[in-house]
Structure 1
Amino acid sequence: MSTRMRFTVWRPLATAALTLLVAASLTPAAAHSAPRESRPVYSYDHAVREAVWVDTGLDGDRDGRPDRVAVDIVRPREPAAQGRKVPVIMDASPYYSCCGRGNESQLKTYDANGRVVQMPLFYDNYFVPRGYAFVGVDLAGTNRSDGCVDVGGRSDVQSAKAVVDWLNGRARAYTTRTGTTTAKAGWTNGRTGMIGKSWDGTIANGVAATGVRGLKTIVPISAISSWYDYYFAQGAPLYDSGPDWLSDYVDSPDARSKCAAVQRKLVDEAPRTGDLTSLWAERDYVRNASKVKASVFLVHGMQDLNVRTKHLGQWWDALAKNGVERKIWLSQTGHVDPFDFRRAAWVDTLHRWFDHELLGYDNGVDREPMADVERHPDQWVTSSVWPPRGTQKTTLRPATGAQAGVGTLGLRKGKGTAAFTDDPGLGETDWAARIDSPTPAKAGFVTGPLTRDLRVSGSSQVTVTATPTTATAHLTAVLVDLGPDTVRDYGGSGEGITTLTDRTCWGASTAGDSACFKVTAADTADVTATVVSRGWADLGTYANPGKGVPLTPGKRYTITLDLAATDHVVPKGHRLALIVAGTDKDLIDPPADTPTLTLDLSRTSARVPLVGGAAAFARATSTAPATAQVTPDAGPLDVVGTPPHHTYRIP
């Protein structure tokens, strides 16, 4: 079982002039035709390494001076010397000094003059020789920046947005943290791409949601789209603490001494009741998806139980609704960077993505399939669009079965009731292992063995009508693929990867910054059931998802749980199950009481995005007793996950 831990499409761009300008940076022979790939023609060893402090216009630490955020820059020397300007790849992070980045927890290091020596990750090593600048921004309140960490709020987002503004000539920067000598970004054309995993990718989402000019693309990896949904699932707490803990985790010593008021706000305005407040509204980037002008290349592990896939599902849907150009990779891992689960393909794809989006190269990446999905460890499939065409929301209904306590799942409306008693000592893998036995802690409903493969692609919803015996109650709903499989062990310490001792190199190195990183391999597990998607809720939010109220024992309530996005094929011979229960051990916190809940099956259902819709379900369950009547139920869709047991790290 997983243990929770906090962070531990396309757009033709270039004008003919830009294309010719970039072509001129290559060899004379290459300049005769439009380039399709940037090449490592510049010296990394002699790259310009400098730092500036950008004025954010805020005074979060209330010291009477505008906060300045530290910006470390590595850029090729030759283009500037020749009067040519370069685009920027940016990673804005709170982790550069406290915790490190990547699988090897790399930190920024500096020389005696305060210039960056080691920039974490491979981005500078690989892309600077290819004609990009790499910029590493310390979020306000971290490392060498002023201000306070406000965990996804205005200060966090403005830390990075101000840098995009400076790169485009709209903000002021200085050569030192407290000095008056200004610094200009005359070496860049302002075209910026943001990238980052976890909190870093979250900031990329937040900055894109401001609509800032000059931000051309973002690559959010395992990123949050709404901070409320990081801490709560429809009122049910996912962690036993709030954003104040996370702020304290990354604060610089200077911020700790100045930011008591911000810390207090993160406590007072983020109540453990799960109520939606103005603090959470400020940190909801989905509501501002209509402002996003940058393209989005989104990467997420379908078994990420740290930043759960609800974040990718709601963000993806909002971007699609607003016509944002986008691409997606979905892995079987937990909270893992694609550099550590599909390294060669990732570097190649990211290279072509940035070449297309920031340099304007017509390299065909915009004509490739929209989605790459890991179907089995290291086995990937593609979809031209995602979710696939022909995906329809299909209403599946639980019903009582021939065996007492074990129900069926089909298209026909169910009758009768099912009851369970919350047991905080059990969770989704325990329930799945006992699906064919009547157990007091869950209500389970299954199809018969499928006669054809059945693909779930998107976000599901489960509507439950339940009568509690107590004034508080939490609910869990999970979709499960019942059948043997070999999956990435997302519950292991590596969340689906094993880190080896050999290294591979991706770009140029210096004595202080190696481009060589430890190799990884898939860490697999043999399982008898795979949790495909999950969702949780406090039943007390039945009338208002933003505010919970005490329940009246014996009264019937109806609530709809949002299940996380996924893409999963339930193979022929396996069964699909819906489980409804109480506390999901280690994934949500238990309620104050220990309720027994009785489900009204005639008013309980799951809307599941199936490729082929109800007809596909009917064909795949044609020998199952409860699927004789087909009720077409078309509609939009989203994504969900696949494997079991997992452990979590901080970034």
Structure 2
Amino acid sequence: MPIRTRFTIWRTLAAAAVAALLAAFLTPAAAQAATRESRPVYSYANAVREAVWVDTGLDGDGDGRSDRVAADIVRPREPAQQGRKVPVIMDASPYYSCCGRGNESQLKTYDAQGNVVQMPLFYDNYFVPRGYAFVGVDLAGTNRSDGCIDIGGRSDIQSAKAVIDWLNGRAKAYTSRTGTTTVRANWTNGRTGMIGKSWDGTIANGVAATGVKGLKTIVPISAISSWYDYYFAKGAPLYDSGPNWLADAVESDDAHAHCAAVQQKLVDGAPRTGDWTGLWTERDYVKDAGKVRASVFLTHGLQDLNVRTKHFGQWWNALAKNGVERKIWLSQTGHVDPFDYRRGAWVDTLHRWFDHELLGYDNGIDREPMADIERHPDQWVTSKVWPPSGTRATTLRPATGAQPGVGTLGLLPGTGTETFTDDPKLSETDWAAKTGTPTPEKAGFVTGQLTRDLRLSGSSKVTVTATPTTATAHLSAVLVDLGPDTIRDYADAAEGINTLTDRTCWGESTAGDSACFKVTMAKTTSVGATVFSRGWADLGNYASDRKGVPLTPGRAYTITLDLAATDHVVPKGHSLALIVAGTDRDLIDPPSTTPTLTLDLSRTAVRVPLVGGAAAFTHATSGTTSVAPGATTLDGVRAPRTVHRVPMG
């Protein structure tokens, strides 16, 4: 891992006037220490707006010439006039013309000369007056770029990496898509931070995993870390279509006409069997975390059922293993940008993060708690590190109870069996509502009511030994907090927020680009049970995460399911439950048969990341003697929506 310098002694351009005054009265060291925040001293209305087309060095559409990607730039005019250079904030996206960015689905708009008028989101409005340039990159095959979209593959990543190379003098750019006049980025020092939600944040992860020089930080929001895990979970299909569907949704008309071969490669490389192929290896950024030079400030919704939380969990763990400087926010929302659930705090924190990472300010953000976690709607706590020190993987074991299908969960080895039949019509919400009731479609295992709070922080694993009656079978495992609560309504179409009509403004506006956005507030619901971690698998992948085989009915198989990362407190008076079942409606597709599965409880267990480890579990369950009653649905969380989710913002 390269050694990173925490602070760069480099004077901000945005505070040049202030720094000059300070320098007259203070020593150089004191003047630098006093500069802690970039200020909006530059004109947004007079900002330079220009477009360049950067040579990627690839020919994805096979037309015999190198693909060029469009980069739209908004930068303060004054620093360049003074011979000073500015850093860059970049969002590389496939959505600038097809689908829009943010809660209001904003698109890029252009003037008659082809220069950007409206840049979606608030980044340019807010940061350009503070001495940053903002660059919005159209991924290859989208909007005004050449080439073909390839869903997180080489072309996607090179679209953004080539722009960083150009910003640092290592690549060529042109003043038009087909012209020969080159242009240099002589207005920037090359220091770049990437930001973006969903696919955009995924590109930031992928570019960081190349180790490209000049990329100093990334802010991935609800981002993918491995594309296989977007489409499959150990062979179990999470969607009824593959990456070719997504490519078709975002391609430009030009790409539609020229990219059939690339589309076919996506089909061939993503078989519906769920087997791992070379296509997935190319799109696995976790394996390359050791190349990351940039710091990482990631955010994710703990109830994101689009880009599920396994993505941030495995990426975070890999970054930690490689000593990457990092920070994290975890909300109760689904697939929602922090600008729309914690706006003021988000803008302030993002401002301070970029000032620290791109301008070198010693503003203390690196010495603040690593993690912010939403415990209840709009109620946040912090952790000095994440997961907290003292978190230990603790093995809990299910055992049979007084009623079939309703067992216990504790530290002692389990005995006996439980049997259930896959019912694709039911979801995790249905199971959780009847955790303490014998039902034929699931097996539930529950602690008694806790006498102390119990916090789980990180990723879990469930090892299941199951005997199927058919040659195909899918498994689901979920962790449930049994007890009444008020939570964000993540299963609603807006995934935990309400959008109001009032607006708040974040930066400066022009006639064509407003800095004012609709206010949001938490959309809540009352529940009797909360599913807070999930995992799935095709039992046919028992011997390999990468290849499935037909099952022999009547034979026992052991498989481990990865449960998504979380940070959840099961409070005193509630119970912790593990449910094992078959198809989780709308979150995985059903198998081709309808199996009945028998669990061998002596060979079934869940490893959970408990703060305080086994001792914390013992203390929280001391004095509990009975299984908690079944959860009662109050207003309730509906089953996940039956739509094809794509990683859009």
Give me the TM-score of the superposition, normalised by structure 2: 0.95
Greater mean alpha carbon deviation, residues 218-227 or residues 394-403: 394-403
Call closer, same or farther: CA 1:154–1:25 in 2, change over 3 Å.
Answer: farther
Q: Which amino acid aligns with 2:562?
A: D
Tell me, what secondary structure is at the counterpart of 1:565?
strand
Tell me, what secondary structure is at the counterpart of 1:58?
coil
Match of 1:168?
Answer: 168
How far apart are residue 437 of structure 1 and its match? Answer: 1.1
Q: Which amino acid aligns with 1:265?
A: K
Q: Which amino acid aligns with 1:29?
A: L
Call closer, same or farther: CA 1:572–1:109 in 2, change over 3 Å.
Answer: same
- 8 Å Cα contact 1:89/1:132 also seen in 2: yes
Match of 1:6?
Answer: none
Match of 1:638?
Answer: none
Match of 1:334?
Answer: 334
Q: Deviations over 1:10-50 (max 9, x none)?
A: 9654444x137665354643555221000000000000000
The answer to whether the aligner puts 1:521 opposite 2:521 as a matched pair is: yes
- 8 Å Cα contact 2:430/2:639 also seen in 1: no
Tell me the distance in 1 between the aligned counterparts of 2:5 and 2:343: 27
Tell me the distance in 2 between the aligned counterparts of 1:585 and 1:269: 26
Match of 1:84?
Answer: 84
How do 1:188-207 and structure 2 match up within 5 A? 188-207=188-207
Match of 1:614?
Answer: 614
How far apart are residue 623 of structure 1 and its match? Answer: 1.8
Match of 1:24?
Answer: 16
Call closer, same or farther: CA 1:164–1:408 in 2, change over 3 Å.
Answer: same
Task: State the percentage of identical aligned residues.
Answer: 80
How far apart are residue 404 of structure 1 and its match? Answer: 3.0
Match of 2:630?
Answer: none
Tell me the distance in 2 between the aligned counterparts of 1:216 and 1:116: 26
How do 1:255-294 and structure 2 match up within 5 A? 255-294=255-294
Query: Tell me, which stretches of 5 or more residues in structure 1 are unaligned?
Result: 1-8, 628-641
Tell me, what secondary structure is at the counterpart of 1:261?
helix
How do 1:177-256 and structure 2 match up within 5 A? 177-256=177-256
Tell me the distance in 2 between the aligned counterparts of 1:350 and 1:188: 20
Match of 2:126?
Answer: 126
- 8 Å Cα contact 1:530/1:644 also seen in 2: no
Match of 1:480?
Answer: 480
Tell me, what secondary structure is at the counterpart of 2:216?
strand
How far apart are residue 269 of structure 1 and its match? Answer: 1.0
- 8 Å Cα contact 1:412/1:626 also seen in 2: no
Q: Which amino acid aligns with 2:213?
A: R
- 8 Å Cα contact 1:409/1:626 also seen in 2: no
Q: Which amino acid aligns with 2:216?
A: K
The answer to whether the aligner puts 1:349 opposite 2:341 as a matched pair is: no
Q: Which amino acid aligns with 1:563?
A: L
How many residues matched? 628
Q: Which amino acid aligns with 1:509?
A: S
Tell me the distance in 2 between the aligned counterparts of 1:10 and 1:523: 44
Q: Which amino acid aligns with 1:290?
A: G
How do 1:31-50 and structure 2 match up within 5 A? 31=23, 32=26, 33-34=31-32, 35-50=35-50
Call closer, same or farther: CA 1:129–1:320 in 2, change over 3 Å.
Answer: same
Tell me the distance in 2 between the aligned counterparts of 1:607 and 1:535: 13
Match of 1:567?
Answer: 567
What do you get for the CA RMSD once the two structures are aligned?
1.6
Tell me the distance in 1 between the aligned counterparts of 2:3 and 2:370: 10
- 8 Å Cα contact 2:445/2:577 also seen in 1: yes
- 8 Å Cα contact 1:400/1:418 also seen in 2: yes
Match of 2:551?
Answer: 551
Match of 2:453?
Answer: 453
Greater mean alpha carbon deviation, residues 401-410 or residues 47-56: 401-410
Call closer, same or farther: CA 1:428–1:533 in 2, change over 3 Å.
Answer: same
- 8 Å Cα contact 1:332/1:643 also seen in 2: no
Tell me the distance in 2 between the aligned counterparts of 1:646 and 1:597: 24
Match of 1:495?
Answer: 495
Give me the TM-score of the superposition, normalised by structure 1: 0.95
Match of 1:469?
Answer: 469
Q: Which amino acid aligns with 1:383?
A: S
Tell me the distance in 1 between the aligned counterparts of 2:78 and 2:140: 32
Match of 1:375?
Answer: 375
- 8 Å Cα contact 2:486/2:526 also seen in 1: yes
Q: Deviations over 1:417-449 (max 9, x none)?
A: 000000000011101111111100000000000
Tell me the distance in 1 between the aligned counterparts of 2:226 and 2:61: 24
Q: Deviations over 1:487-539 (max 9, x none)?
A: 00000111000000000000000000000000000000000000010000000
- 8 Å Cα contact 2:492/2:638 also seen in 1: no
Match of 2:631?
Answer: none
Call closer, same or farther: CA 1:455–1:13 in 2, change over 3 Å.
Answer: closer
Q: Which amino acid aligns with 1:152?
A: G
Match of 1:586?
Answer: 586
Tell me the distance in 2 between the aligned counterparts of 1:365 and 1:11: 16
- 8 Å Cα contact 1:373/1:381 also seen in 2: yes
Tell me, what secondary structure is at the counterpart of 1:279?
helix
Tell me the distance in 1 between the aligned counterparts of 2:180 and 2:136: 22
Match of 2:295?
Answer: 295
Tell me the distance in 1 between the aligned counterparts of 2:544 and 2:223: 26
Tell me the distance in 1 between the aligned counterparts of 2:384 and 2:440: 44
Call closer, same or farther: CA 1:30–1:199 in 2, change over 3 Å.
Answer: farther
Q: Which amino acid aligns with 1:544?
A: S
- 8 Å Cα contact 2:332/2:487 also seen in 1: yes
Q: Deviations over 1:571-597 (max 9, x none)?
A: 000000000000000100000000000
Call closer, same or farther: CA 1:216–1:230 in 2, change over 3 Å.
Answer: same
Q: Which amino acid aligns with 1:249?
A: A
How far apart are residue 164 of structure 1 and its match? Answer: 0.4
How far apart are residue 557 of structure 1 and its match? Answer: 0.2
- 8 Å Cα contact 2:38/2:130 also seen in 1: yes
Match of 2:366?
Answer: 366
Q: Which amino acid aligns with 1:185?
A: A
Match of 2:632?
Answer: none
Q: Deviations over 1:463-490 (max 9, x none)?
A: 0000000000000000000000000000
Match of 1:313?
Answer: 313
Tell me, what secondary structure is at the counterpart of 1:459?
strand
Tell me, what secondary structure is at the counterpart of 2:11?
helix
Call closer, same or farther: CA 1:20–1:72 in 2, change over 3 Å.
Answer: closer
Tell me the distance in 2 between the aligned counterparts of 1:25 and 1:473: 68
- 8 Å Cα contact 2:397/2:413 also seen in 1: yes
Q: Deviations over 1:384-412 (max 9, x none)?
A: 00000100000000000122331000000
Higher relative contact order (CA 8 A, sep 6+): 1
Match of 1:538?
Answer: 538
Tell me the distance in 2 between the aligned counterparts of 1:295 and 1:268: 35
- 8 Å Cα contact 1:489/1:646 also seen in 2: no
Tell me, what secondary structure is at the counterpart of 2:206?
helix
Call closer, same or farther: CA 1:232–1:513 in 2, change over 3 Å.
Answer: same
Tell me the distance in 2 between the aligned counterparts of 1:90 and 1:321: 27
Q: Which amino acid aligns with 2:289?
A: A
Call closer, same or farther: CA 1:597–1:139 in 2, change over 3 Å.
Answer: same
Call closer, same or farther: CA 1:515–1:526 in 2, change over 3 Å.
Answer: same
Call closer, same or farther: CA 1:12–1:626 in 2, change over 3 Å.
Answer: farther
Tell me, what secondary structure is at the counterpart of 2:220?
strand
